[in-house]
Amino acid sequence: MILKDTGDIVKALGYLALYAAYVEEAIDECINTLLPYDSNQPKNLHRFPTSQKIKYIQGRLSHCHLTQELVTFPQLLDHLEDLFEERNLIIHGRIYGSLQGEADILRPGRPTGSEREITSAELTDLANLFFNTLNSLNYAAFYSLRRYLN
């Protein structure tokens, strides 16, 4: 479901976490489709961070010529890497709400990051970007990758 910004930053953060988790599940489905065709399966791949799972999928697809059906799939995976990087900055950071109508602040969890303003609209937009990738990922996992591998 595509979300509309309600101005509630906590609710938007929850949707971001939920939609990103749905995408992680779809990435795992892609891996489940690819693994039976990999004679060199990495040990404990399902425990890898999502970024490494995406890299695994990218590596498996780089071995052969892609079908027309999958020609844009590597771009989707690149896009997902960017989305997860942004999600990680937010989820592992700390959001401080304003008390006097000033902007809400995101303080990074990484020592190299900078404090910045954040809005519920930004979180809602990011959640929607994750949601918009689900159909393509699930289609790839259950149809396109299976046809590609057979």
Q: Is residue 111 part of a domain?
A: no
Mean per-residue pLDDT of the chain = 94
What is the domain range of residue 69? 9-82+117-149
Q: With a cut of 90, say whether residue 102 has pLDDT above it.
A: no
Residue 102 domain-assigned? Answer: no
In this structure, is residue 36 part of a structural domain?
A: yes
Is position 121 within any domain? yes
Q: Which pTM does this prediction carry?
A: 0.93
Q: What is the pLDDT of residue 112?
A: 87
Poorest-confidence range of 74-88, 100-114, 132-146? 100-114
Is 92 within a domain? Answer: no
Q: How confident is the model at residue 50 (pLDDT cuts 50, 70, 90)?
A: very high
Q: For the purposes of burial, counting CB atoms within 10 Å of the CB of 49, is it exposed (0-12), middle (13-18) or buried (19 or more)?
A: exposed
Whether 126 maps to a domain, the answer reads yes
Q: What's the domain count of the chain?
A: 1
User: Which residue in this structure is represented by tokens 């006097």?
Assistant: 100
Note the pLDDT tens digit of each residue in 61-84: 987 789 999 999 999 999 999 999
Question: Please, which residues have CB within 8 angstroms of residue 118's CB and are 6 or more apart in sequence?
Answer: 9, 90, 95, 103, 104, 105, 106
User: CA of 122: how far to CAs of 3, 55, 95, 145, in Å?
Assistant: 12, 27, 13, 33
**Structural domain contains residue 101:** no
Determine, yes or no, domain membership for 75.
yes
